[in-house]
A and B are shown apart, each in its own frame.
Chain A
Amino acid sequence: MANIAEQPRKVAIICSHGGLDEAYPALILANAARQADIEAFVFFTFWGLDVVTEEKVDHLHVNMVGNASSPMPTMLMGLPGMEAFAGKKMTKQMAEIDLPGPREMLKILDESGAKLYACELAMRMFKREKKDLVPEVAEVITAGDFYDMAEGAQIIFT
């Protein structure tokens, strides 16, 4: 990369939603940053915590209600089990183009040197402990810690 600035480039990505479709932008952006030799870390907060929660990461859903791009009428998408169905369908489509699942993406991120953090407040709110999270999460940090770490970084909120 051309030297845009003296210090290395850095991105801080905040993942605040737990839907499958909402988790991917954060994960892909972080991965793309690492591939471009940009330092990256992801802060999982609120529903985004689901993405790094051991019991949830393999069952992320897609909520199509209120989604104008949904191929189905909103009325139907509100039926019970629809978000799980949409999630499975999307997972299948992703597998078809050989896109790794969320858990594998987290592993790739970790191996490529991106740092993953969980939000302390959200952890307390959802009554989760560090042991409930996937091992790739480096630390549970506060919003203040986040700002300290994000110094000099571009911040992306998803």
Chain B
Amino acid sequence: MEANGFDPRLTQVLTQLEAIAGQMDRLVEQQKKQQELIDDLLLPVSKEVMASATARLDALEKKGYFAFGRELVKIGSRIVETYSTEDVRQLGEAVTSILDTVRALTQPEVLSVAGEMSGVLAQADTTKPLGLVGMVRATRDGDVQRGMAVMMELLKRVGKGAGALADKQGRSGTQKEKLAAALGPRKKNLGIERPAPKQLPAPACAAPAKPAPATTVIDGISFTADGHLADSAQWTKTLAETLSATQGVTLTDAHWVVIDFARKDFAETKASPNIRRITQGAGVSTKDLYSLFPKAPGRTIAKIAGLPKPAGCL
């Protein structure tokens, strides 16, 4: 080595370089191989995989999985929007009881009863209508009796549950109030109470007075056969004074209150007011009315006020 005049360290470097070159070659070779591998093997494989995956996804899409999934996501977001975490927590607490209920409902016995019931409903078109007597007769059947007992028990539970719910929602009250709330406004008690009508209703049994034929004409004013003014438009206050004299009545302010009311009421209802209507409308007692117009007050008032004879019994 020395004779060649080369530095031995240089030789070392060369050797190492050679070794490195060899490694490089191998590396390159490997690289090539890898590239080839990728080219020859991986790419087609991955293409294959991708294609097949795509095809599968496509199939799933066709089957509607994704639409379903999208809807699920929508539902999820809707749930999140609608319910608070508190609600969800409560749901979690209730899960056991829900499951219990479901388990109880799916017991074979219960299911068979439900099946029976739906069977009955399916045959509903063949069942005969049942009247009151038929119902009473049906209660003699032992099964019907048991069924009724079960229904009663069911009703009781439902009622209890409803009551508890009402309490929970702060609508608690007396039994009566609860009932009233459930049934809606009750009809007023039938009976003796006679609510004072704020506004006078239409006359009790007054038929529209038939215009009696005018028979007598005095000073251009026509009167009917029973002594009433034929046309109430011909009435004047002066005429009232004259008419009252023929009835043996001297008009005072108290009389005028009554007469004015009678005129006003006639104008509104087109019927002569009877005594009851006058006492209610003019605020005069029956007793006072009889002392103001002692003889047949109803008719006398109508005569003086220039109105037809009052109809009706009161």
List residues of chain A with CB under 8 Å of any chain B CB. Answer: 1, 28, 31-32, 34-37, 58-59, 88-89, 91-92, 95, 97-101, 104, 107-108, 111-113
Contact = CB atoms under 8 A, between A and B. Distances in A.
A31 B314 contact: yes
B216 to A, nearest CB: 15
Contacts of A28: 313-314
Contacts of A34: 290
23 contacts: A28-B313, A28-B314, A31-B313, A31-B314, A32-B313, A35-B299, A35-B314, A36-B296, A37-B295, A91-B190, A91-B191, A91-B192, A92-B190, A92-B191, A97-B204, A99-B204, A104-B194, A107-B286, A111-B285, A112-B275, A112-B287, A112-B290, A113-B290
Given A97-B205, A111-B286, A112-B286, A35 B296 contact: yes
Contacts of A36: 296, 299
B276 interface: yes
Contact of A101 (B194, B274, B296, B314): B194
Contacts of B313: 28, 31-32
A112 B299 CA distance: 14
B298 interface: yes
B170 interface: no
Contacts of B191: 88, 91-92
A128 to B, nearest CB: 21
A1 B296 contact: yes
A146 to B, nearest CB: 24
Interface in B284-307: 285-287, 290, 295-299
B201 A98 contact: yes
Contacts of A97: 204-205
B299 to A, nearest CB: 8
A98 B197 contact: yes
Interface in B194-210: 194, 197, 201, 204-205
A100 B290 contact: no
B244 to A, nearest CB: 16
Interface of B: 190-192, 194, 197, 201, 204-205, 274-276, 285-287, 290, 295-299, 313-314
Contacts of A59: 192
A112 B204 CA distance: 19
Contact of A111 (B190, B290, B298, B299): B290
A92 B313 CA distance: 19
A113 B286 CA distance: 9
Given A59-B192, A112-B287, 6 more contacts: A34-B290, A35-B296, A58-B192, A88-B190, A91-B191, A101-B192
A37 B286 CA distance: 14
Contacts of B194: 95, 100-101, 104
A84 to B, nearest CB: 10
Contacts of A32: 313
A39 to B, nearest CB: 11
B253 to A, nearest CB: 21
B213 to A, nearest CB: 18
A99 B314 contact: yes
Contacts of B190: 88-89, 91-92
Contacts of A104: 194
Closest 10 interchain pairs by CB?
A111-B286, A111-B287, A37-B296, A37-B295, A88-B190, A98-B204, A92-B190, A35-B298, A108-B286, A58-B192
B195 to A, nearest CB: 8
B275 A35 contact: yes
Contacts of B297: 35
Contacts of B296: 1, 35-37
A34 B275 CA distance: 11
Contacts of A92: 190-191
A6 to B, nearest CB: 16
A36 B192 CA distance: 29
Contacts of A100: 194, 276, 314
Nearest to A35: B298
